[in-house]
């Protein structure tokens, strides 16, 4: 197909070319772009997660609704067994001190705030 | 280039360690840069194209199937990106006409040893720039990058037979153009 003479001469010629190096700034600039791209990809992933969760919740609600609607199934009120009425009567006599309830609510809010803040800070650390 | 090292670094990048990507770049940038540099007129253009190549590699890293060879996968991206970037930048190479098919291989590159190394390299670089960008990439990968015909066929998505025919024609074209340049 080709003479080894020509092939070798060209090969020798190519190997005579000195391998050059890219500029020193190249890697720095490239990694800056890579970081930007990684941030975009992360954001895209988060948005996709939210969208998929929303779609999941919507389908959990919508699918039974649609099944009930198209199959013309009527929902009859559920009769609670006696045991439930007994429990509800117990809770009727149950009294809670509003101060204790408020304290519990404050603790719950503080815990929620703490976990949101921690999540936010860790995400910020990941990005920087 | 250690294959297991590459795979380890790819897994690190996939897990979110961006710094591992700089090691992948360091391993391949010299080869990619020198192949592209033969096709463009200046270093800035070569670096711009190389940056696009590595950004594409980073973006598509999740789609890389680890059973195939990473270097071939990377060079395929480099090949396709370089061709499309050259088209975008409108760096069309003048494709030589195939009016050399009846010329014997023995006639070519006879005078190459009579000239200096600098002149030889200069003529070779001029001749490469006279090829179409696809041909220039194929021949540069074959000779400079020492890629096998099978690897080039994988990179360019062409059959082995097709690559062989192309290489034969490109070699002839190059040799004739170098001879012409030597004769002045």
pLDDT, position B15: 87
Indicate whether this model's pTM tops 0.80: no
For residue A108, tell me if it sits in a domain. yes
Distance CA B147, CA A11 (A): 12
Work out the percent of chain A whose per-residue pLDDT is above 90: 23
Q: Measured between alpha carbons, how far apart are the two ends of chain B, in Å?
A: 42
Which parts of chain B register pLDDT below 70?
1-3, 90-111
Verify whether the Cβ–Cβ distance A20 to B33 is below 8 Å.
Answer: yes
Which parts of chain A register pLDDT below 70?
1-8, 77-81, 84-85, 90-96, 126-128
Question: Are A36 and A66 in a shared domain?
Answer: yes
Q: Which of A1, A4, A5, A9 is best to mutate for the B interface (most B CBs within 10 A)?
A: A9
For residue A119, tell me if it sits in a domain. yes
CA distance, residue B144 to nearest chain A CA (Å):
6
**Nearest 10 degrees: Cα torsion B68, B71, B77, B78:** -170
Q: State the DSSP H helix or E strand holding residue B126, giving kind and residue range, or none if neither.
A: helix B117-130
For residue A2, tell me if it sits in a domain. no
For residue A10, tell me if it sits in a domain. no
pLDDT, position B49: 93
Question: Are A82 and A109 in a shared domain?
Answer: yes
Domain housing A45: 22-76
Contacts of B50 (CB under 8 A, 6+ apart): A22, A26, B29, B32, B33, B36
pLDDT, position B40: 85
Question: Are A62 and A88 in a shared domain?
Answer: no
Please tell me the total count of domains within chain A. Answer: 2
Q: How many residues does chain B have?
A: 184
For residue A8, tell me if it sits in a domain. no
Question: Are A61 and A86 in a shared domain?
Answer: no
pLDDT, position B4: 74
Domain edges within chain B: 3-88, 105-183
Chain B residues at the A interface, defined by Cβ less than 8 Å, are 16, 18, 21-22, 25-26, 29-30, 33-34, 37-38, 43, 46-47, 50-51, 54-55, 58-59, 105-106, 108-109, 112, 117, 120-121, 124-125, 140, 143-144, 164, 167-168, 171, 174-175, 178
- Domain B3-88, what fold? Rna Polymerase Sigma Factor; Chain: A (1.10.1740)
pLDDT, position B156: 92
Contacts of B149 (CB under 8 A, 6+ apart): B142, B160, B163, B164, B167
ipTM of model: 0.76
pLDDT, position B29: 92
pLDDT, position A18: 84
Distance CA B65, CA A118 (A): 35
Question: Are A26 and A72 in a shared domain?
Answer: yes
Verify whether the Cβ–Cβ distance A34 to B18 is below 8 Å.
Answer: yes
CATH number of B105-183: 1.10.10.10
Chain segment A20-39, per-residue pLDDT in tens: 888 889 999 999 999 999 99
Question: Are A28 and A55 in a shared domain?
Answer: yes
Chain B residues lying within 8 Å of A6, measured CB to CB: 105-106, 108-109, 171, 175
Distance CA A22, CA B36 (A): 11
Distance CA B14, CA B58 (A): 9
For residue A5, tell me if it sits in a domain. no
Last residue of a domain, one of A76, A97, A115: A76
For residue A14, tell me if it sits in a domain. no
């Amino acid at each position: 197909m080709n003479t080894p003479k020509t092939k070798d001469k060209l090969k020798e010629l190519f190997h005579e070319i000195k391998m050059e190096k890219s500029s020193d700034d190249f890697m720095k600039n490239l990694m800056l772009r890579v970081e930007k791209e990684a941030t975009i990809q992360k954001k895209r992933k988060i948005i996709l997660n939210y969208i998929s969760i929303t779609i999941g919740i919507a389908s959990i609600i919508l699918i039974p609704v649609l099944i009930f609607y198209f199959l013309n199934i009527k929902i009859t009120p559920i009769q609670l067994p006696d045991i439930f009425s007994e429990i509800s009567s117990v809770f009727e006599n149950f009294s809670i001190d509003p101060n204790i309830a408020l304290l519990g609510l404050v603790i719950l809010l503080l815990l929620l705030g703490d976990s949101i803040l921690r999540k936010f800070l860790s995400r910020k650390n990941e990005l920087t | 280039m250690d294959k297991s090292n590459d795979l380890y670094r790819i897994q690190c990048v996939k897990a979110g360690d961006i710094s591992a990507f700089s090691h992948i770049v360091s391993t391949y940038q010299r080869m990619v840069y020198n192949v592209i540099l033969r096709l463009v007129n200046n270093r800035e253009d070569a670096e711009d194209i190389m940056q696009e190549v590595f950004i594409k590699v980073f973006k598509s890293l999740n789609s890389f199937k680890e059973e195939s060879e990473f270097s071939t996968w990377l060079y395929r991206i480099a090949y396709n990106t370089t061709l499309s970037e050259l088209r975008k930048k409108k760096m069309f190479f003048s494709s030589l006409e195939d009016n050399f098919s009846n010329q014997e291989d023995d006639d070519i590159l006879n005078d190459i040893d009579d000239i200096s190394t600098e002149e030889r390299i200069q003529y070779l670089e001029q001749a490469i720039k006279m090829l179409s960008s696809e041909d220039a990439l194929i021949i540069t990968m074959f000779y400079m990058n020492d890629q096998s015909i099978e690897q080039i066929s994988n990179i360019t998505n062409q059959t082995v037979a097709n690559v062989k025919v192309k290489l034969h024609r490109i070699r002839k074209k190059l040799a004739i153009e170098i001879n012409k340049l030597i004769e002045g």
